[in-house]
Structure 1
């Protein structure tokens, strides 16, 4: 029996814009359980792209990607060079490549030296994504060893983005969450099972654009968050 192919996401356009444009997740040791808790909880019509960097052996196959795609409602795939970043897809960083987000919202892959003993490095993704998305980026640090991601999460915070960290007490390995909390005044520290519901809520926050024009007050284009 042939495997069921998930359709390309068809996101219903919103008249205005979403407050956030992208979610970046960093995870290492213990990551399989964490990702299998979060990603399958996202709906098929999830309105944002999700980019995941997981520390992997250079010779790893794409089992995690294939397994997550199989058990999730949302599409899960490995990052391709120069690929356009689209909503409603979870992108997994390939082993042995740094993943960067370019200004035109495409991916680039790099084999430059390891950072924080890792390639792919969470910091590389977070810092490049923060440069592109600024305050429209959500950064998430999950279970893992060493301090990879803490510098990048700080960059996200400095650019006005939102920062989430798994509660170290619920992480299989608490090194990365602790380092992130020590480095940055994070916005949310959450139990593992609390992360996906909050991401769904945040992803659907919208900016109401005021289309009224008033030459005297020059209020056109101002908006409020819903």
Structure 2
């Protein structure tokens, strides 16, 4: 069987960074905006903002040879929206817990503080408390010094939900992806892809997906 008959007729070609228009290329979330029938953007309304941020960072952290592994995930993020703080807690905690065991030591303390902050906020949110506790405890066990530092640094301090959503969670995700991308392990790409895959699947079970309209055909978005 020839190569041409085993591939889909059209496949998206992903590249790093932001693109002014489809002719310049497409990142993960720009392709999602296309599938959702939205204006071309890497910040479309069809996906939870923090999940979209995670997707953009993973997309940009992967090399050209590994980025195509994300293609099949693109339709899965369309319609994953919601305003519940639980979603931010899940996304940020998953990211930090995945990164803490392997991140450079210069990143571990910040990640541990992010996890501790999420754990404290989740304590009063029964829908996510068990999951957040489990992810945090597993991550803390892998980096006890960072955990101890976070406990001393943060003590009993709490952040507001507004501050967590606007500042703490986005910063935690950014540190987590950077920590994974710079980790001294042989399977960085696998870890990044797995993080996004698992997070998308998890969020998909926690929200009622909003149907997307059929995409408007735009020349140059897809390549043979």
What is the TM-score of this pair, normalised by structure 1?
A: 0.24
Say which structure is richer in helix.
2
Say which structure is richer in strand.
1
What is the TM-score of this pair, normalised by structure 2?
A: 0.25
Where relative contact order (Cα < 8 A, 6+ residues apart) is larger, the structure is 2
